[in-house]
Chains A and B, each alone.
Chain A
Amino acid sequence: MNKRFIAFILVLLIAVGGVFAEGLNINGQPKVTISGTIGPFFVHGLLDGEDNYSGTQSIPNAFTSPNVFKYGFETNEASYEITMTVTDFLQDGGDGVVKIKSITANGIDLGTPIEGVYVLFSNDENSFTKSSTTITIVPAIAANLVGEKDHAGVNIGDNETYATAGNGDYEATITFIASGS
């Protein structure tokens, strides 16, 4: 009986000692959630330098010198499409027309536009994108181009080349439209 009592007392002392020997209680790991939003952006334009986007650009002497310009863009949008439309050279103050024979991007013929619209870039990737392309516009210069197809697949009329058109100032407009989501 005495031995049982002594054993009981020892167990009790050990248990109580264990309670008091417990270490400092610290309240877990607090957490802070920090949030940020990256807003969508789309910058595009005509490049006269590496990163200088210009909204407009004029190229004079379009019938006698190369019509070459660089278009670029950068965006962080997940999907986007960039299209280009090109008018004929239209006579200023008149109804004369000079057709465009062909259009290339980085030296590759763009082929025939769909309903007058070229799709230059499209993307569904989920990343920041920065790109550019060099566009070359080739007017219908020579008279022997009459009867051939222009860049849009339309026949070039008798007075629709540089060599056969009426005199005056002519201007073609190239428009880039970007859409994203």
Chain B
Amino acid sequence: MKRYLLITLLLVAILTLGAAPNQVTIKLTTSVPEVLVHGFLKDGDTTTIYAEEDKDNAFDPDGVEFTYAVKTNTSIRMTVYATVTPFYRQDPENPAEVNIAQVRVKDEGGDESTVENTGDEYELVTFTPNKGGMAVYAYTLTVIANADEVANAPAGDYKSTVSIGITTGN
């Protein structure tokens, strides 16, 4: 009798093992972080965004051009603004300055407009990224010095700094 009971227990154990699942599943979950990098494109390269840029010949009557770009995978509405200092003569003992006459911005479609100066800032562009995924949104900025002041300024080397900020969600 005990023998039958032992056999029965063995059969139950074997059947139980056979009913165990033959595959296991693991779920891997993660997230793609929001990325927003902005800066300048150089030499036609649209892959690298630089935090700094230097441009010469700023007193050309047509101004000086540089390419500003935002690289992002978000679709957050954002506003890009710039603060632009006057051109300061690089001679501390004999200071002089030339003011900015105009800041212009041109989008990738070629539409160009003059940017109004609001206080110390120029509100360059407001846009919502819509290309899907990671994409670069580039704008050509032009800074034009005041030609009359250039004509009447003392000779020398002058520099202006354009700092670009960005705010999101507005």
**Are chains A and B native binding partners rather than an unrelated pairing?**
yes
A131 at the interface (CB under 8 A from B): no
Interface of B is mostly: strand
Whether A37 pairs with B162 at a CB distance below 8 angstroms is no
A29 CB–B CB distance under 8 Å = yes
- B74 interface contact, C-beta 8 A: yes
Number of A residues near B (Cβ < 8 Å) is 24
Instruction: Assess the B152–A31 pair: CB atoms within 8 A.
Output: no
Given A24-B34, A29-B165, A36-B145, answer yes or no on A126-B154 (Cβ-Cβ < 8 Å).
yes
* A 14-45 to B, binary, CB cutoff 8 A, 1 in contact else 0: 00000000001111111111111111110000
Q: Flag if B162 contacts A32 (CB, 8 Å).
A: yes
Q: B139 at interface (Cβ–Cβ under 8 A)? A: no
Q: Which residues of A contact B164 (CB under 8 A)?
A: 29-32
Contact B54 A33 (CB under 8 A): yes
Task: Determine whether the beta carbon of B154 is less than 8 Å from that of A32.
Answer: no
Cβ-based interface call for A121 (8 A) = no
Please, which residues of chain A bring their CB within 8 A of the CB of B36? 24-27
Whole-angstrom CA separation of A126 from B39 in the bound complex:
37
Stretch touching chain A among B7-15, B16-24, B57-65, B105-113: B57-65
Q: Chain A binding site: helix, strand, loop or mixed by DSSP?
A: loop
Write out the residue numbers on chain A whose beta carbons fall within 8 Å of the beta carbon of B161. Answer: 31-34
Does B26 touch A at the CB level, under 8 Å?
A: no
Instruction: For the complex formed, measure the closest distance between the CB of A8 and the CB atoms of chain B, giving whole angstroms.
Output: 25
CA distance A126 to B34 in the complex (A): 52
Query: Which listed residue, B39, B68, B94, B160, touches A33 by the CB 8 Å rule?
Result: B160
Among residues of A, the one whose C-beta sits closest to the C-beta of B162 is A32
| Cβ of B155 under 8 Å from chain A | yes
Chain B residues within an 8 Å CB radius of A33? 52-55, 159-162
Distance of A124 Cα from B36 Cα, bound (Å): 52
With a cutoff of 8 Å between Cβ atoms, the chain A residues found around residue B66 in the complex are 32, 34
* A126 CB contacts on chain B under 8 angstroms: 94, 96, 154
Instruction: Give A contacts to B, CB under 8 Å.
Output: 24-41, 76-78, 126-128
Closest 6 CB pairs of A and B: A36-B58, A36-B59, A40-B155, A126-B94, A30-B39, A32-B53
Extra inter-chain contacts (15) besides given A32-B40, A36-B160, CB under 8 Å:
A24-B34, A25-B36, A26-B38, A29-B164, A30-B50, A30-B53, A32-B54, A34-B161, A36-B145, A38-B153, A38-B154, A76-B155, A78-B154, A126-B94, A128-B153
Pick 18 A–B contacts, CB within 8 A, sort by A.
A25-B36, A26-B166, A27-B36, A27-B51, A29-B163, A30-B52, A32-B53, A32-B66, A32-B161, A33-B54, A33-B162, A35-B158, A38-B154, A76-B153, A126-B94, A126-B96, A127-B154, A128-B151
